[in-house]
């Protein structure tokens, strides 16, 4: 196994005044052939949306779009008839399928901090769907929470959201000194550090990562362990 670290300072940046964004992978006007996604994972945008601003109605198709709100509250409206608020700790998965139009607005008086994540689906042109999950990992620390699983998962107590891709997405808030095993079911792992400082080790090799960094590695060798050097929030993409 070899670890590849994607440093935060290598992410693209955009400042539109009302929107400040960092792009882990090529997006919009920021294009870098080194960063075009990993496996089915295509977009991780870290967005800060100013008060009373946001993304007006726009369209997507054939993309799995996951939103994780880190602070503030986002108002969602879409052409499927869904209207709601996504607060800090909440997750949303919109499977665009044949096509959906939606808006994401910050109607509050403080900025909204969020992650917008896109994955390619493994099926073309199904009917669009919408799912929400209220699960603040900070309230249940030091364990993996399965946020998203494929349609063929057979976990009896699974309460997360179903994605049209052979991928799992897990998240944790790991307190200082705690560790967790990355027990993969898929081919490739991509661990994005939302906040804090961590180490990932397979017993013979170790990699360090901080806020905004990501670590990429294949799952062909024994499992790895993630150790928190400070309180840290992580999202683990277990990818085909």
Annotated binding site: 58, 60, 102, 104
Question: Residue 59 half-sphere exposure, CB side, CA atoms within 13 Å?
Answer: 5
Which pLDDT value is given to residue 202?
A: 87
DSSP E strand boundaries for 72-135? 73-78, 83-87, 90-95, 100-105, 112-119, 129-134
Annotated binding site for Fe cation: 58, 60, 102, 104
Query: Which are the contacts of 149, defined by CB distance < 8 A and separation ≥ 6?
Result: 155, 158, 160, 161, 162, 163, 168
Range of the domain at 40: 4-239
Tell me the per-residue pLDDT of 166-175, one tens digit each, with 9 for 90 and over: 999 999 999 9
From the list 67, 71, 54, the residue with the least C-alpha distance to 130 is 67
| Count of the separate structural domains present in the chain | 1
Using an 8 Å Cβ cutoff, are 232 and 195 in contact?
yes
pTM beyond 0.85: yes
Question: Residue 192 half-sphere exposure, CB side, CA atoms within 13 Å?
Answer: 24
Using an 8 Å Cβ cutoff, are 69 and 90 in contact?
yes
Which pLDDT value is given to residue 151?
A: 84
Instruction: Give the pLDDT band (50/70/90) at residue 6.
Output: very high
CA separation for the pair 1, 172 (Å, rounded): 23
CA separation for the pair 197, 232 (Å, rounded): 6
CATH number for position 131 = 2.60.120.10
Reading the block at residue 130, the tokens are 């919408």
Instruction: Give the pLDDT band (50/70/90) at residue 1.
Output: low
Tell me the per-residue pLDDT of 112-154, one tens digit each, with 9 for 90 and over: 999 999 999 999 999 999 999 999 999 999 999 999 999 877 7
Which pLDDT value is given to residue 199?
A: 96
Average pLDDT, the chain: 95
Tell me the per-residue pLDDT of 44-98, one tens digit each, with 9 for 90 and over: 999 999 999 999 999 999 999 999 999 999 999 999 999 999 999 999 999 999 9
């Amino acid at each position: 196994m070899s670890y590849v670290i994607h440093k935060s300072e290598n992410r693209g940046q955009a400042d539109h005044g009302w929107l400040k964004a960092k792009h882990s992978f090529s997006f919009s006007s920021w294009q870098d052939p080194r960063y075009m996604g990993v496996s089915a994972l295509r977009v991780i945008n870290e967005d800060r949306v100013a008060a009373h601003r946001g993304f007006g109605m726009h369209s997507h198709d054939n993309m799995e779009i996951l939103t994780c709100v880190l602070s503030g509250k986002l108002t969602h409206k879409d052409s499927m008839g869904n209207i709601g608020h996504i607060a800090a700790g909440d997750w949303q998965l919109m499977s665009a399928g044949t096509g959906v139009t939606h808006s994401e607005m910050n109607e509050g008086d403080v900025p909204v901090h969020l992650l917008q994540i896109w994955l390619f689906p493994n099926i073309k042109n199904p009917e669009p769907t919408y799912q929400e999950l209220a699960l603040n990992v900070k309230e249940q620390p030091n364990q993996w929470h399965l946020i998203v699983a494929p349609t063929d998962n057979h976990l009896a107590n699974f309460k997360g959201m179903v994605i049209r891709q052979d991928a799992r997405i897990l998240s944790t808030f790991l307190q200082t000194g705690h560790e967790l095993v990355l027990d993969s079911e898929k081919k490739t792992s991509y661990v994005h550090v939302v906040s804090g400082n961590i180490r990932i080790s397979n017993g013979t090799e170790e990699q360090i990562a901080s806020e905004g960094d990501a670590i990429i590695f294949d799952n062909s060798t024994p499992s790895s362990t993630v150790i928190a050097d400070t309180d840290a929030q992580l999202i683990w993409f277990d990818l085909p």
